Structure 1
Amino acid sequence: MKLIQLGALIGLCSSLACGQTPLSLQTSKELALKQSASLKNSALETEAAKAVKKSAFMNYLPKVSAQLLGFQAINPLVSYQMPGGNLPVYDGNPANLRTATQFAYFPGANIKALQRTGVGFLTITQPLYAGGRIQRGNELAQLGVNIKENQQRLTRDEVLLKTEQQYWQLVSLQEKHKTIARYEALLASVDKQVTDAFQSGLIVRNDVLKVQLKKSELQANKNKLNSGHQLALRQFCHTLGLPYDSTLVVSENLDQLPLPQSMYANPEAAVANRTACQLLEQAVKATQLQTRLKAGETLPQAAIGLAGYQVAGLMKGGSGISNGLLYATVSIPISDWWTNKYAVKEQQIREQIAENTLNDTKGLLRLQTEKAWVDVVESYRQISVLEQAKLQATEHVKVSQSSYASGLITISDLLEAQALLTEAADKLIEAKTQYQFNRATYSQLTNPHP
């Protein structure tokens, strides 16, 4: 299945690179998510946090350590010379020990030890109580995973928002190309009329020059639009991980726009669901756990353990020694209590700071959400105003064309009417594009992507 999906994606990218398929908004988002380096790095950071969590869990398990020590001294570290002589033979009666009549000869001894020795240690320690620090450490590690996952969602939302904004920018530029084309057609028609009239001697050459000047201005604006389109397209291709293709087009348009009311969300609920708000709540929880972790350093610690050792080479020719023991330890930090007391106080202050920041930011997030909704509504209202202005400009062009044909107005008046229509059309396109920008922003604030 993964191979099939990969093959489909490769085929899609190939067709897009050749400019054969109009690119939809949904496809653009999918490609951007696969391409985004920041999202990949965020996923890696999440995996790193999961590794830290597994490492913290190991603190619940016994600690096992082994040590080996071996040395070779120039001379034995222990050397003892025992002289020889006659030793009394003990017959079992203590009264005869001082007046023994029988003796055994002891030739003496030369004892040398610790010249070549090997020592091995093995210890196993199981913590029983560590002031709750092991548990707090694992809770912090799990919280770290949750934070990284939320940061990954935040990065994903930012990538999707940037992609959607770039997409609608391209839609806007494509619509402006259509407006330019319509203006070109109008000027071409006027140019033909003026040229025919001039050749018939009905008008002066100045009118022809005025039309030519407008055509030159239009060409300059068209070149500027083409340059802006190329830059926007290059940026969009980079975001999607596609090679630059000047023939690539997007399939959406600005004709049918949804009503603002279809996406309204309660500000309080929206703030509660915001990833940014959840990150701040997790930051407060992290400071609380750090306070408890610091407080745990003032509590006793207890552990049990098992130790064993093996010593070889104590004496030349002698056998090794091995032993084992079971032990328990209790550690009470008495003198450190005063130092840790102020460290705990510091953490409690930081905890209060984090809570104050959370409460303040919640209010700011609510204001941000409400402002985003106002922007959506106002931009939609602006569209209605500009649509009416475009209708008026269109009617003005029709009247001007009729009046010019009847000789009631000059060519300058007609050209001005056509320019006003083009300007009204451009403003309407920009307003619709801004509305889509505002919708995308509001959607990210109120309905974050899972």
Structure 2
Amino acid sequence: MLRREIRYRIPGLVCLLSLCLVVGNAQQLLTLEECSRLALENNARMKNARLDLEGTQETRKEAFTKYFPSVSATGGAFASDNGMAEMILMPGLEMTLGKNGVMGGVTAVQPVFVGGQIWNSNKLAALAVEVSRYQMKQSEDEVLLTVEQYYWQNVSLQEKMKTIGIIESLVGNLYKDVETSVKAGVANRNELLQVQLKKNSVASDRLKVENNLRLSKMVLAQYIGVAEDDFLVRSYLQEPLPLPETYRVDPIAALPNTVGYKLLDKQVEASRLQYKLKVGQNLPSLGIGAGYMYHNILDTDHSFGMIFATVSIPITDWWGGSHAIRKQKLQLKAAEYTRQDSNEKLVLQMQKLWNELEEAYKQVKLSEESIATAEENVRLSTAYYQAGTETLSDLLDAQSLLQQSRDQYTDDYTSYLIKRTQYLQATGQ
């Protein structure tokens, strides 16, 4: 009885374990939003961008320390074969001093005026942090655009696989019909060979698309930092496309919202601060300090404290410094010209991308009409061929046109979505 129960339970346990393995190995179905999130977390470019931001933040903290006194400590010791001082106390009695000794001290100097160099250096360091944040946003946009391109490429290839399945079904049914007609003696074998060639062509198309799909998924997996076997891409071309007018904005009004515009502004501001720094380097500097010193040189311990002031006037540097200041002023003017020129190009880029977005949307609509026309053409060609009023070659051409129109629609659909993202990023939306 016990043996019988064991026999009955073993298949149940096997089924349960098999079910667990299937669930455990189930691939996650990823949407575009999920792929984008994973890319922002795992992509090497974003990791480097975050490190760059942390680096500029450390530089800013370093610049802030220049507001505080600079403290230094020095020390030394010496020993010599002859003393620093020799005295003859009386004939035959001499005294040597300073043959060895030690010295040391601690000083602290507080800068009072350095031509605004500390203030402007801190502003420049803070500006570098802002620039790094904008550059990280720029990297984020580029990563998101790239992952979307890879994602829709994968979706497009999946849709083309579906199209190949439809064509294979049509050609397979046609092959059966022609084979039956050949056996019945109402069709010649040449027609069956034509259909066989078409089957081979479709099989070749499937092989190419399968290889491209596998490679596309590998590229996407590497970009988002997920193992290739752990996910699938969700295909949803059936959703209606939003109108381009939903996203349209005035280019001039949108310009200040773009990352490119903000970076150009920061570049001019950085040039202005560098000009002020160059001026400050050629101004006098003033500092005050205090220190504590100790020495034992003449065989006597001696220590003392002191306060002092330092003034530095770069007299010989004024000649060369004036040219350096003039050069920096020219670079500031060049940065302003570059900003104006680049802003005009940004506006032109927005208009260009809008035109491409409109064109892509219209192309999708034309492709939809082409599919409807191609499907009707296949239906009529099939009926006419069966009625004997159309050749087999015409029917095969109609099926090829259906495949081409469906593939073209897939390409146009995904192209529109990518153009939309490019336009949204370019207009700062």
TM-score by length of 1: 0.87
Structure 2 counterparts to residues 35-434 of structure 1, below 5 A: 35-83=42-90, 110-245=94-229, 248-315=232-299, 319-434=300-415
More helix by share: 2
1:68 deviates by: 0.7
Look at both structures and tell me which one has the larger radius of gyration over its CA atoms: 1
The residue type equivalent to 1:73 in the other structure is S
Q: Counterpart in 1 of 2:28?
A: 21
The residue type equivalent to 2:51 in the other structure is L
Q: Deviations over 1:128-147 (max 9, x none)?
A: 00001110111111111111
Indicate conservation of the 8 Å contact 2:287/2:311, yes or no.
yes
Indicate conservation of the 8 Å contact 1:254/1:429, yes or no.
no
Indicate conservation of the 8 Å contact 2:28/2:231, yes or no.
no
Q: Distance in 1 between matches of 2:352 and 2:25?
A: 42
1:402 deviates by: 1.2
Q: Distance in 1 between matches of 2:323 and 2:315?
A: 14
Point out the more displaced range, 270-279 or 46-55: 270-279
The residue type equivalent to 1:437 in the other structure is I
Q: Distance in 1 between matches of 2:70 and 2:394?
A: 92
Q: Deviations over 1:62-107 (max 9, x none)?
A: 11111111112223221111227xxxxxxxxxxxxxxxxxxxxxxx
The residue type equivalent to 1:404 in the other structure is Y
CA RMSD in angstroms comes to 1.9
Q: Distance in 1 between matches of 2:235 and 2:388?
A: 44
1:377 deviates by: 0.6
Q: Deviations over 1:177-217 (max 9, x none)?
A: 11111111111111111111111111111111111111011
Q: Deviations over 1:26-62 (max 9, x none)?
A: 1101111111111111111111111111111111101
Point out the more displaced range, 14-23 or 392-401: 14-23
1:299 deviates by: 1.4
Q: Distance in 1 between matches of 2:404 and 2:371?
A: 9
Moved over 3 A (4+): 14-19
Indicate conservation of the 8 Å contact 1:63/1:124, yes or no.
yes
1:19 deviates by: 5.1
Indicate conservation of the 8 Å contact 2:72/2:108, yes or no.
yes
Point out the more displaced range, 403-412 or 69-78: 69-78
Q: Counterpart in 2 of 1:94?
A: none
Q: Distance in 2 between matches of 1:428 and 1:240?
A: 27
Indicate how the Cα distance of structure 1 residues 135 and 413 shifts in structure 2: closer, same or farther if over 3 A, else same: same
Indicate conservation of the 8 Å contact 2:30/2:231, yes or no.
no
Q: Distance in 1 between matches of 2:393 and 2:235?
A: 38
Task: Determine helix, strand or coil for the equivalent of 1:248.
Answer: strand
TM-score by length of 2: 0.91
Indicate how the Cα distance of structure 1 residues 246 and 410 shifts in structure 2: closer, same or farther if over 3 A, else same: farther
Indicate how the Cα distance of structure 1 residues 45 and 16 shifts in structure 2: closer, same or farther if over 3 A, else same: farther
Structure 1 residue runs without a partner (length 5+) = 1-13, 85-107
Q: Distance in 2 between matches of 1:437 and 1:396?
A: 31
Task: Determine helix, strand or coil for the equivalent of 2:82.
Answer: coil
Matched residues, number: 409
Task: Determine helix, strand or coil for the equivalent of 1:124.
Answer: strand
Q: Deviations over 1:256-314 (max 9, x none)?
A: 21111111122123322221221121111111111110011221111111122111251
Q: Is 1:440–2:417 an aligned residue pair?
A: no
Point out the more displaced range, 118-127 or 324-333: 324-333
Query: Taking every aligned residue pair, what percent have the same amino acid on both sides?
Result: 35
Q: Deviations over 1:215-246 (max 9, x none)?
A: 01111111111111111111011111122229
Point out the more displaced range, 68-77 or 407-416: 68-77
Task: Determine helix, strand or coil for the equivalent of 2:291.
Answer: strand
Indicate conservation of the 8 Å contact 1:169/1:433, yes or no.
yes
Task: Determine helix, strand or coil for the equivalent of 1:232.
Answer: helix
Q: Distance in 2 between matches of 1:218 and 1:340?
A: 75
Q: Distance in 1 between matches of 2:22 and 2:30?
A: 10
Indicate conservation of the 8 Å contact 2:101/2:297, yes or no.
yes
Indicate conservation of the 8 Å contact 2:360/2:416, yes or no.
yes
The residue type equivalent to 1:429 in the other structure is T
Structure 2 residue runs without a partner (length 5+) = 1-20
Indicate conservation of the 8 Å contact 1:306/1:326, yes or no.
yes
Q: Distance in 2 between matches of 1:357 and 1:44?
A: 28
Task: Determine helix, strand or coil for the equivalent of 1:252.
Answer: coil
